[in-house]
Amino acid sequence: MLARFMEDIVNIILIRHFRLKRLATKLKNHVGGEATEEGLKLLLRCMALALCVDNEYRKNLKDFNGRYLFTTKKGPVNVAATCANNKMSVYEKSISDFDVRVDFSDYKAIIDFLIQADVDIIDQMLNQKLSFFGNLNYLYKLGYMTRHLMLKLGIAVS
Protein backbone atom coordinates (compact mmCIF):
# COMPACT_ATOMS: atom_id res chain seq x y z
CA MET A 1 0.00 0.00 0.00
CA LEU A 2 2.78 2.39 0.92
CA ALA A 3 4.65 1.63 -2.28
CA ARG A 4 1.50 2.26 -4.27
CA PHE A 5 0.93 5.55 -2.47
CA MET A 6 4.50 6.64 -3.06
CA GLU A 7 4.17 5.74 -6.70
CA ASP A 8 1.04 7.83 -7.04
CA ILE A 9 2.92 10.76 -5.54
CA VAL A 10 5.78 10.28 -7.98
CA ASN A 11 3.32 10.11 -10.86
CA ILE A 12 1.82 13.40 -9.75
CA ILE A 13 5.21 15.05 -9.33
CA LEU A 14 6.35 13.87 -12.74
CA ILE A 15 2.97 14.75 -14.28
CA ARG A 16 2.91 11.34 -15.94
CA HIS A 17 -0.86 11.17 -16.30
CA PHE A 18 -0.84 14.51 -18.06
CA ARG A 19 2.05 13.47 -20.31
CA LEU A 20 0.33 10.22 -21.18
CA LYS A 21 -2.85 12.03 -22.12
CA ARG A 22 -0.91 14.48 -24.26
CA LEU A 23 1.05 11.71 -25.98
CA ALA A 24 -2.13 9.71 -26.55
CA THR A 25 -3.71 12.70 -28.28
CA LYS A 26 -0.65 13.06 -30.47
CA LEU A 27 -0.74 9.37 -31.29
CA LYS A 28 -4.42 9.53 -32.10
CA ASN A 29 -3.81 12.43 -34.46
CA HIS A 30 -0.87 10.66 -35.99
CA VAL A 31 -2.66 7.45 -36.91
CA GLY A 32 -5.17 9.44 -38.92
CA GLY A 33 -2.43 11.17 -40.89
CA GLU A 34 0.45 10.14 -43.08
CA ALA A 35 2.21 6.96 -42.05
CA THR A 36 5.69 7.62 -40.68
CA GLU A 37 7.96 6.04 -38.12
CA GLU A 38 6.76 8.63 -35.61
CA GLY A 39 3.68 6.54 -34.84
CA LEU A 40 5.74 3.68 -33.50
CA LYS A 41 7.83 5.98 -31.34
CA LEU A 42 4.71 7.61 -29.95
CA LEU A 43 3.16 4.23 -29.22
CA LEU A 44 6.19 2.98 -27.34
CA ARG A 45 6.46 6.19 -25.33
CA CYS A 46 2.76 5.92 -24.47
CA MET A 47 3.30 2.32 -23.49
CA ALA A 48 6.28 3.16 -21.28
CA LEU A 49 4.30 5.86 -19.50
CA ALA A 50 1.19 3.71 -19.14
CA LEU A 51 3.34 1.02 -17.57
CA CYS A 52 4.43 3.58 -15.00
CA VAL A 53 1.01 4.88 -14.08
CA ASP A 54 -1.22 1.85 -14.43
CA ASN A 55 -0.71 -0.96 -11.96
CA GLU A 56 -2.85 -3.43 -13.85
CA TYR A 57 -1.06 -2.74 -17.09
CA ARG A 58 2.30 -3.04 -15.37
CA LYS A 59 1.59 -6.70 -14.67
CA ASN A 60 2.81 -7.23 -18.21
CA LEU A 61 6.32 -6.44 -17.03
CA LYS A 62 6.38 -8.78 -14.07
CA ASP A 63 9.52 -10.90 -14.30
CA PHE A 64 9.84 -9.89 -17.93
CA ASN A 65 13.06 -8.96 -19.63
CA GLY A 66 12.69 -8.29 -23.30
CA ARG A 67 14.51 -6.33 -25.97
CA TYR A 68 12.72 -5.25 -29.13
CA LEU A 69 14.14 -3.69 -32.27
CA PHE A 70 11.99 -2.34 -35.09
CA THR A 71 12.89 -1.85 -38.73
CA THR A 72 11.18 -1.38 -42.05
CA LYS A 73 12.28 -2.91 -45.30
CA LYS A 74 12.36 0.58 -46.78
CA GLY A 75 14.87 1.87 -44.28
CA PRO A 76 15.89 1.83 -40.66
CA VAL A 77 13.34 3.02 -38.13
CA ASN A 78 15.92 3.04 -35.38
CA VAL A 79 13.46 2.50 -32.62
CA ALA A 80 14.00 0.03 -29.85
CA ALA A 81 12.41 -0.82 -26.55
CA THR A 82 13.73 -2.75 -23.62
CA CYS A 83 11.82 -4.12 -20.67
CA ALA A 84 13.59 -4.86 -17.40
CA ASN A 85 13.03 -4.27 -13.70
CA ASN A 86 9.34 -3.50 -14.18
CA LYS A 87 10.17 -0.64 -16.52
CA MET A 88 10.11 -0.07 -20.25
CA SER A 89 12.70 2.17 -21.88
CA VAL A 90 12.43 3.51 -25.41
CA TYR A 91 15.44 4.34 -27.56
CA GLU A 92 15.77 6.15 -30.85
CA LYS A 93 18.65 3.99 -31.91
CA SER A 94 19.43 0.43 -32.82
CA ILE A 95 20.24 -2.08 -30.09
CA SER A 96 22.07 -5.36 -30.18
CA ASP A 97 21.13 -8.60 -28.44
CA PHE A 98 17.45 -8.14 -29.15
CA ASP A 99 14.98 -10.93 -28.39
CA VAL A 100 12.98 -10.09 -31.44
CA ARG A 101 13.46 -7.79 -34.38
CA VAL A 102 10.22 -6.77 -36.03
CA ASP A 103 10.52 -5.95 -39.72
CA PHE A 104 7.58 -4.04 -41.15
CA SER A 105 7.20 -3.86 -44.92
CA ASP A 106 6.60 -0.09 -44.67
CA TYR A 107 5.30 2.61 -42.36
CA LYS A 108 1.73 1.82 -43.33
CA ALA A 109 2.18 -1.67 -41.92
CA ILE A 110 3.23 -0.13 -38.61
CA ILE A 111 0.08 1.96 -38.51
CA ASP A 112 -2.04 -1.09 -39.30
CA PHE A 113 -0.31 -2.90 -36.48
CA LEU A 114 -1.18 -0.05 -34.15
CA ILE A 115 -4.75 0.80 -34.84
CA GLN A 116 -6.67 -2.18 -36.12
CA ALA A 117 -8.21 -4.02 -33.21
CA ASP A 118 -9.06 -7.02 -35.36
CA VAL A 119 -5.83 -7.26 -37.32
CA ASP A 120 -3.65 -9.98 -35.93
CA ILE A 121 0.04 -10.54 -36.32
CA ILE A 122 -0.46 -13.77 -38.21
CA ASP A 123 -2.52 -11.89 -40.77
CA GLN A 124 0.28 -9.38 -41.25
CA MET A 125 2.75 -12.23 -41.63
CA LEU A 126 0.46 -13.95 -44.12
CA ASN A 127 0.22 -10.76 -46.16
CA GLN A 128 4.00 -10.31 -45.93
CA LYS A 129 3.56 -6.95 -44.19
CA LEU A 130 5.48 -8.04 -41.17
CA SER A 131 8.31 -10.43 -40.61
CA PHE A 132 10.48 -10.98 -37.60
CA PHE A 133 13.74 -12.38 -36.43
CA GLY A 134 13.87 -13.96 -33.01
CA ASN A 135 11.29 -15.25 -30.58
CA LEU A 136 7.76 -14.98 -31.95
CA ASN A 137 6.21 -15.09 -28.48
CA TYR A 138 7.84 -11.75 -27.64
CA LEU A 139 6.06 -10.31 -30.63
CA TYR A 140 2.74 -11.82 -29.51
CA LYS A 141 3.24 -10.29 -26.09
CA LEU A 142 3.94 -6.90 -27.62
CA GLY A 143 0.89 -7.33 -29.82
CA TYR A 144 -1.24 -7.95 -26.73
CA MET A 145 0.23 -4.97 -24.88
CA THR A 146 -0.29 -2.74 -27.91
CA ARG A 147 -3.86 -3.82 -28.50
CA HIS A 148 -4.68 -3.51 -24.81
CA LEU A 149 -3.25 -0.02 -24.61
CA MET A 150 -4.81 1.22 -27.81
CA LEU A 151 -8.23 0.00 -26.73
CA LYS A 152 -7.71 1.61 -23.35
CA LEU A 153 -6.73 4.90 -24.94
CA GLY A 154 -9.62 4.68 -27.35
CA ILE A 155 -7.34 4.75 -30.37
CA ALA A 156 -7.75 1.25 -31.80
CA VAL A 157 -10.61 0.79 -34.19
CA SER A 158 -12.42 -2.44 -34.84
Closest CA to 69 of 46, 43, 103, 39: 103
> Is residue 15 within the footprint of other proteins (CB under 8 A)?
no
Helix orientation angle between 107-115 and 38-53, rounded to the nearest 10 degrees? 30
Sort strands 100-104 and 66-72 into parallel, antiparallel or unpaired: parallel
In terms of CB distance, is 29 or 65 closer to other proteins? 65
Helices marked H in the chain: 2-13, 16-31, 38-53, 55-58, 107-115, 121-126, 136-152
Taking the complex as a whole, the smallest distance from the CB of residue 15 to other proteins amounts, in Å, to: 28
> Is residue 91 within the footprint of other proteins (CB under 8 A)?
no
Q: How many residues contact other proteins, by CB under 8 A?
A: 33
Q: Which stretch binds other proteins (CB under 8 A): 5-13, 19-27, 41-49, 133-141?
A: 133-141
Amino acid in position 60: N
Contact in structure between 52 and 43 (CB atoms under 8 Å)? no
Q: Is 151 helix (H, G, I), strand (E, B) or coil?
A: helix
Single out the residue of 45, 50, 147, 155 in contact with other proteins (rule: CB under 8 A): 147
> Is residue 101 within the footprint of other proteins (CB under 8 A)?
no
8-state DSSP, 79: E
Residues 53 to 82 in contact with other proteins, rule: CB under 8 A: 59-60, 62-64
Contact in structure between 140 and 101 (CB atoms under 8 Å)? no
Taking the complex as a whole, the smallest distance from the CB of residue 37 to other proteins amounts, in Å, to: 21
Q: Which stretch binds other proteins (CB under 8 A): 4-12, 45-53, 78-86, 134-142?
A: 134-142
In terms of CB distance, is 29 or 137 closer to other proteins? 137
Binding site for other proteins (CB under 8 A): 59-60, 62-64, 117-123, 125-128, 131-138, 140-141, 143-144, 146-148, 151, 158
